Chain A
């Protein structure tokens, strides 16, 4: 191996990351090339010197600080799920957990239905609302008219009664 090739692989050789054949070739070269040997030694010493870069210690309360932040990050859903798991983990509490769950589901469904109904009503015109309030009359309009219960609306309006 030529010196240029040796230098390209010197770091990997020192890191024991070369295959056995390549490592032996470099070792043999270093045994006979003072220049490459010096390079290798200087590189090795510089690498070792990095150990002198001191470490810093974490703050003593890093664990408790972490768990405080983790708890704050838990979503409402995760807390409910945890609570549910605690309830279902205890057999005596399963009927309570089941009842609460059913009440929650039914209550949510009714609430959503009411909200949708109210939203739908809010979009109706006053005439439409009045018609809905008297829907039973509207359904039997023809019959009631034949019986003379409901007069012709046009003639009634003309008379100013409505």
Chain B
């Protein structure tokens, strides 16, 4: 039985609609799983991409993660919000994968397509470069700070939820984010100007 022991108290998480979908899937309702996947797949993909994997590797890993959750169906026990469980798996998987594929995501497999028909192709190019620079700076953060930043900034998780996903205390999350933001403030200064 898969048991992440995220919440040692036996709390009822059926207030979470995602937990309800997962329980419906456990009873055999495949469309419930697909709803969960459609909701989270793009977000998970982008978390992993921003974490530092290439587009293709991020796509492959996202598929693997959802296959893993799909297999968990029969033994699933709601011990936390579904999003917390999901990002525990996502973060651990991304961490392992990026250690094997340590290359910056965008520059190697993305070409800027300038469409003369669209307004301001130059602006599009500049925006693209700015995005690349930001992703590179996020990539330079230590792994724990990077995880905390991605979960807070893009997934809008609370310190408590981030702590559960990262298996640390909310105080540790506060410290990680404070240090990360200090670094981001310095490194993004030239873009901010």
Chain A residues with CB under 8 Å of chain B are: 8-12, 14-15, 17, 39, 42-43, 45-47, 49-59, 62-63, 65-66, 69-70, 73, 85
Complex alpha-carbon distance, A21 and B188, angstroms: 31
Complex alpha-carbon distance, A55 and B127, angstroms: 12
Point out the residues of chain B lying under 8 angstroms from A57, CB to CB. Answer: 42
Report whether A47 and B67 are in contact in the complex, using a CB–CB cutoff of 8 Å: no
Across the interface, B181 reaches (CB within 8 A) one of A43, A59, A62, namely A43
Looking at B55, B138, B188, which has the most chain A CB atoms within 10 Å of its CB?
B188
Chain B residues with CB under 8 Å of chain A are: 28, 34, 37-38, 41-42, 45-46, 49-50, 55, 58-59, 62-63, 66-67, 70-71, 127-128, 130-131, 134-135, 138, 149, 152-154, 158-159, 174, 177-178, 181-182, 184-185, 188-189, 191-192
Contact count A vs B, C-beta below 8 Å? 95
**Across the two chains, which residue of chain B brings its CB closest to A72?**
B67
Point out the residues of chain A lying under 8 angstroms from B138, CB to CB. Answer: 50, 53
Across the interface, B42 reaches (CB within 8 A) one of A47, A55, A69, namely A55
Q: Closest CB-CB distance, B72 to chain A, in whole Å? A: 12
Q: Closest CB-CB distance, A114 to chain B, in whole Å? A: 34
Point out the residues of chain B lying under 8 angstroms from A47, CB to CB. Answer: 153, 181, 184
Given contacts A46-B192, A62-B63, 13 further A-B contacts (CB under 8 A): A11-B178, A15-B177, A46-B184, A49-B188, A53-B131, A53-B138, A54-B127, A55-B42, A56-B55, A58-B41, A58-B62, A59-B59, A85-B28
A12-B159 contact in complex given A58-B59, A69-B67, C-beta closer than 8 Å: yes
Closest 8 CB pairs of A and B: A11-B178, A54-B131, A53-B134, A46-B185, A46-B184, A46-B188, A55-B46, A11-B177
Report whether A73 and B181 are in contact in the complex, using a CB–CB cutoff of 8 Å: no
Point out the residues of chain B lying under 8 angstroms from A45, CB to CB. Answer: 192
